[in-house]
């Protein structure tokens, strides 16, 4: 699907995190699933299943637009074609930033953009707003997510050796999948 990496994690990718002795540590790369999600919001957003579960949680809190905006901005930064850049900038603006949008993200008033910015789009045009939303998620939603029933269910399934990826699978489907794979 996508590989999301925040601007903050580009400053210090997981492979450059240092242990208590200031030695580079690759331990985050060896972690998987819910253990990795607890390391940081950046680690959670790098994991497709983590993003799926975080979105599920945010949807319950009526704030899914935050992670959707963040993802849209990450994808936007990769666009090279100017026509595509303009189209996607307009789409992001109308979906998340316009005062008329039902999915409007909550950014500080002075940071709001008006439609005139769409005349000259560039890959980093939403960066300041994206960082605000990232920090909102990091210091608010992320901590609640780690205490949520969604996260705890995934963690418990993982610890018991069951695959949380198949958590929504019915018993007959799971039995059929297991039977057909043996």
How far, in Å, are 153, 154, 158, 173, 182 from residue 169 at the CA level? 14, 13, 15, 6, 18
- 176 part of a folded domain: yes
How much is the pLDDT for 22?
A: 41
3-state secondary structure of 24: strand
How much is the pLDDT for 3?
A: 45
Six token digits for residue 145: 């997510």
Q: What's the rounded Cα separation, in Å, for the pair 47 and 182?
A: 28
For residues 43 and 37, the answer to whether their CB atoms sit within 8 Å is yes
Total domains present in the chain? 1
* Segment 128-177, tens digit of pLDDT: 999 999 999 999 999 999 999 999 999 999 988 876 555 455 455 545 44
Domain that holds residue 60: 7-180
In the block, tokens 């050796």 appear at 161
Query: Is 7's pLDDT higher than 90?
Result: no
The CATH number of the domain holding residue 40 is 1.10.167.10
How much is the pLDDT for 173?
A: 52
- 82 part of a folded domain: yes
Give the residue, 79 or 110, on which the prediction is more confident. 79
Six token digits for residue 20: 């208590």
Looking at the chain, list the stretches that DSSP marks H as alpha helix, in order from N- to C-terminal side: 7-11, 27-30, 33-39, 41-45, 48-60, 64-76, 82-92, 127-136, 142-145, 149-159, 171-180
- 121 part of a folded domain: yes
- 1 part of a folded domain: no
- 139 part of a folded domain: yes
- 2 part of a folded domain: no
């Amino acid at each position: 699907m996508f590989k999301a990496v925040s601007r903050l994690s580009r400053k210090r990718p997981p492979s450059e995190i240092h242990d208590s002795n200031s030695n580079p540590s690759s331990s985050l790369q060896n972690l998987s699933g819910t253990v990795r999600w607890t390391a940081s919001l950046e680690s959670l957003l790098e994991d497709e299943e983590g993003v799926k579960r975080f979105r599920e949680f945010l949807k319950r809190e009526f704030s899914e637009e935050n992670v959707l905006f963040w993802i849209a901005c990450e994808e936007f930064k990769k666009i090279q074609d100017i026509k595509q850049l303009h189209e996607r900038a307009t789409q992001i603006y109308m979906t998340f930033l316009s005062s008329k949008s039902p999915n409007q993200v909550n950014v500080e008033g002075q940071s709001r953009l008006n439609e005139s910015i769409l005349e000259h789009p560039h890959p980093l045009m939403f960066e300041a707003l994206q960082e605000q939303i990232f920090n909102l998620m990091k210091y608010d939603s992320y901590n609640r997510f780690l205490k949520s029933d969604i996260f705890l269910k995934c963690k418990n399934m993982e610890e018991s050796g069951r695959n949380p990826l198949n958590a929504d699978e019915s018993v007959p489907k799971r039995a059929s999948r297991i039977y057909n794979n043996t």
